[in-house]
C-alpha cells in the first residue's frame, strides 16, 4: 500500500483538461548581444562565468498547436539575482505567445514560481541533465496538476532559501503547493491509467526530493517507498518495456536510484532495490553504461557496488558502534568480499562523460563530470575502508582516500554547478578527517554550493559541524543514528 503524507489538511482539487505544451529556450542576454552561440548552461552559461550577473534568461511557454507562430525577437529576461514575486511583472509572461495557458498558471505566484523552477530550481537539482529531461519535466507538469504543484512547492522553498525568506507566509505557500500535490496524487492513485503514467511516479519523486532538501526527514521514507512501488508497478505493467525509446523513464529510474543509494550509504536504507536482475536498475535496456551518468554525476556501475558495500558494512556495524577498530575481527568471508569490492571499485575509476553529454554541454561540464565521478569512487573506497575494513582515521589508506577526494574536488571550479552533485563525497571526507586544512577546504566548498539555496547542503553542513564538535570516535552515520539525526546526502 502506497501512502503519501500530507503536511497539513488540504481539500482535493479537480483535475483540469490536459494542454499539450512545449517550452522554448533561447540563449542568454549576453550571448545574444554578442551574437555568439550560448551553451544554455544554467544558472550561468559558460561564457558568462566571469560576469554572472550579466547572464539573463527568458522563459516562453508555447502550445504545440501554436509552435509554428513567429517567436518574439527579444524574450523577457530576468536577472540572476533572486527576486520576490511582487517584484516580477508577470504580465510579461502573459504577453508571450501563449494561446492556451494552463488554468493552473492563472495566478501571479504560479507564473513566478514556474519561472524560478525553469531558471533556478531544476538546473540546481539536475545540473548535468540532458535538455529533453528538463523540457519534458516542465511540459509534463503543465499537463499534470499534481506534478505541477509538487514542482512549484520545490521552486517556492528553493527561492525562499535563495533570498533568505523565513517568514510564515513563505512557509505557508510551500505547504499549500505541497498539499495540493498530495491531494491530486492520491486521486491519481485510484485510477489505474494514471498510476501507470511516468508523471505519477515523478510527482512522488519530486515530493520525496523536496522532503530531503527541506529537512522533512520524518516523512521522506514514506514518499521514497511510494516511489519505489509506483515504479515497480509501472515497469512491470503488461506491454510496458523500459528501453531507449523512453529516455524520460530511464532518467526517472536513475533519479530514484541516486536518492536511494545515498540514503543507503547514509545508514538509513538497505539498498535492496538496487541489486540483482529484479532490481529497478536491472531493468535498464542493456548492460549498465560505463560513462559518467548525467543525472547521477558518476557511472551507474558504482551503484550496485555501493549497495553491497553498505550491506557488508551492516554486518560489521557492531564493531564500529562499540568503537572497536580491529580488522582482524572480520570473518574470512567478509575479508574476501571486501577485497573483491575494492578491486571492482578501482576498476571503474577512469570514466568519462558520454558523447551525448559532450554534444549538449560542450567541453567544460563533461570534463568536470570526470572529477565528480572520481570523487564518488574515492568516497566509496573511503566508505569501504572505514566501515568494512574498520581502519582508523589516521591510517595511511584512509588518509589517501581523503586526499584523492579533495584532489578531485579541486579540479572542479568552486562555483560550478557540478559541485551540486558531490555532497556525499564532500561530507564523507569532512567527517572522516581531523586535519584542519582539510576541514577548511571542505567548509569553503560547501559554503559556495550552499549559496545556491540548496537546503540539503545547509543541513549537511550544520550536522558536520555538530559532528566535529562532539569529538566522538564513532562513525558519523552511527553517531547521527544514536542522536536521532537523519540525513540523505542528495
Query: How is the chain split into domains, by residue range?
Result: 104-242, 288-489
Instruction: Give the pLDDT score at 467.
Output: 96
Query: Is the CB of residue 467 less than 8 Å from the CB of residue 476?
Result: yes
Please state, in angstroms and rounded to a whole number, the distance separating the CA atoms of residues 218 and 432: 26
Q: Distances in Å between the alpha carbon of 363 and those of 311, 358, 375, 432?
A: 37, 6, 19, 33
Model confidence over 415-460: pLDDT tens digits?
A: 899 999 999 999 999 999 999 999 999 999 999 998 888 888 988 9
Q: Collapsing DSSP states into helix, strand and coil, what is residue 290?
A: coil
- Report the pLDDT averaged over residues 344-354: 95
- Whole-number average pLDDT of the chain: 78
Band of residue 145 on the pLDDT scale cut at 50, 70, 90? very high
Q: CA angle 334-336-340, nearest 5°?
A: 115
Model confidence over 202-218: pLDDT tens digits?
A: 999 999 888 888 877 77
Model confidence over 275-308: pLDDT tens digits?
A: 554 566 665 555 567 899 999 999 999 988 998 8
Model confidence over 85-110: pLDDT tens digits?
A: 443 333 333 333 333 446 677 788 88
Q: Is the pLDDT of residue 397 over 90?
A: yes
Q: Distances in Å between the alpha carbon of 101 and those of 74, 95, 226, 272, 346?
A: 20, 11, 31, 43, 51
What are the phi and psi torsion angles at 452 (to 5°)?
Answer: -85, 5
Model confidence over 149-179: pLDDT tens digits?
A: 999 999 999 999 988 888 998 899 999 999 9
Q: Distances in Å between the alpha carbon of 96 and those of 67, 92, 203?
A: 12, 7, 27
Q: CA angle 231-232-238, nearest 5°?
A: 105
**What are the residues whose beta carbons fall under 8 Å from the beta carbon of 67, sequence distance 6 or more?**
22
Q: Is the pLDDT of residue 341 over 90?
A: yes
Model confidence over 222-260: pLDDT tens digits?
A: 777 778 888 877 777 665 544 445 778 888 888 888 888
The residue with greater pLDDT, 461 or 278, is: 461
Amino acid at each position: 500500500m502506497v501512502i503519501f503524507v500530507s503536511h497539513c489538511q488540504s481539500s482535493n482539487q479537480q483535475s483540469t483538461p490536459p494542454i499539450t505544451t512545449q517550452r522554448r529556450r533561447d540563449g542568454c542576454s549576453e550571448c545574444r548581444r554578442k551574437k555568439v552561440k550560448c551553451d544554455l548552461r544554467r544558472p550561468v552559461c559558460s561564457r558568462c562565468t566571469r560576469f554572472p550577473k550579466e547572464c539573463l534568461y527568458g522563459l516562453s511557454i508555447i502550445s504545440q498547436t501554436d509552435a509554428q507562430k513567429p517567436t518574439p525577437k527579444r524574450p523577457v529576461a530576468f536577472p540572476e539575482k533572486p527576486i520576490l514575486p511582487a517584484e516580477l511583472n508577470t504580465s510579461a509572461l502573459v504577453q508571450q505567445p501563449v494561446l492556451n495557458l494552463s488554468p493552473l498558471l492563472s495566478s501571479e505566484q504560479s507564473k513566478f514560481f514556474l519561472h524560478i523552477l525553469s531558471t533556478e530550481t531544476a538546473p540546481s537539482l539536475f545540473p548535468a541533465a540532458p535538455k529533453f529531461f528538463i523540457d519534458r519535466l516542465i511540459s509534463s507538469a503543465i499537463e499534470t496538476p499534481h506534478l505541477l504543484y509538487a514542482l512549484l512547492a520545490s521552486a517556492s522553498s528553493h527561492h525562499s532559501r535563495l533570498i533568505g525568506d523565513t517568514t510564515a507566509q513563505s512557509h505557508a505557500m510551500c505547504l499549500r503547493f505541497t498539499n495540493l500535490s498530495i491531494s491530486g496524487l492520491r486521486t491519481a492513485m485510484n485510477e489505474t491509467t494514471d498510476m501507470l503514467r511516468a508523471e505519477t511516479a515523478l510527482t512522488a519523486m519530486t515530493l520525496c526530493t523536496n522532503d530531503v532538501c527541506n529537512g522533512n526527514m520524518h516523512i521522506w521514507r514514506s514518499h521514497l517507498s511510494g516511489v519505489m512501488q509506483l515504479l515497480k508497478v509501472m515497469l512491470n505493467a503488461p506491454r510496458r518495456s523500459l528501453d531507449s525509446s523512453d529516455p524520460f523513464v530511464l532518467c526517472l529510474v536513475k533519479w530514484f536510484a541516486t536518492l536511494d543509494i545515498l540514503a543507503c550509504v547514509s545508514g538509513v536504507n538497505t539498498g535492496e532495490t538496487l541489486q540483482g536482475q529484479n532490481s529497478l536498475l536491472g531493468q535498464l535496456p542493456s548492460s549498465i553504461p560505463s560513462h559518467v551518468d548525467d543525472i547521477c554525476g558518476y557511472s551507474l556501475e558504482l551503484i550496485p557496488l555501493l549497495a553491497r558495500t553498505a550491506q557488508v558494512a551492516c554486518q560489521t556495524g557492531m564493531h564500529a558502534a562499540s568503537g572497536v577498530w580491529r580488522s582482524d575481527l572480520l570473518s574470512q568471508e567478509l575479508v574476501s568480499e571486501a577485497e573483491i569490492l575494492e578491486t571492482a571499485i578501482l576498476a571503474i575509476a577512469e570514466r568519462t562523460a558520454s558523447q551525448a553529454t559532450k554534444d549538449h554541454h560542450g567541453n567544460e561540464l563533461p570534463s568536470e563530470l570526470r572529477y565528480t565521478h572520481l570523487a564518488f569512487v574515492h568516497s566509496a573506497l573511503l566508505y569501504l575502508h572505514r566501515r568494512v575494513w574498520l581502519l582508523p582515521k589516521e591510517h595511511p589508506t584512509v588518509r589517501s582516500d581523503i586526499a584523492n577526494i579533495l584532489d578531485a574536488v579541486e579540479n572542479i571550479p568552486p562555483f560550478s554547478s557540478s559541485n551540486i552533485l558531490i555532497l556525499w563525497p564532500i561530507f564523507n571526507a569532512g567527517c572522516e578527517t581531523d586535519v584542519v586544512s582539510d576541514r577548511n577546504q571542505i567548509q569553503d566548498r560547501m559554503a559556495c554550493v550552499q549559496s545556491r539555496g540548496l537546503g540539503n547542503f545547509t543541513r549537511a553542513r550544520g550536522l558536520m559541524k555538530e559532528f566535529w564538535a562532539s569529538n566522538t570516535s564513532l562513525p558519523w552515520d552511527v553517531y547521527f543514528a544514536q542522536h536521532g539525526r537523519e540525513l540523505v546526502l542528495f
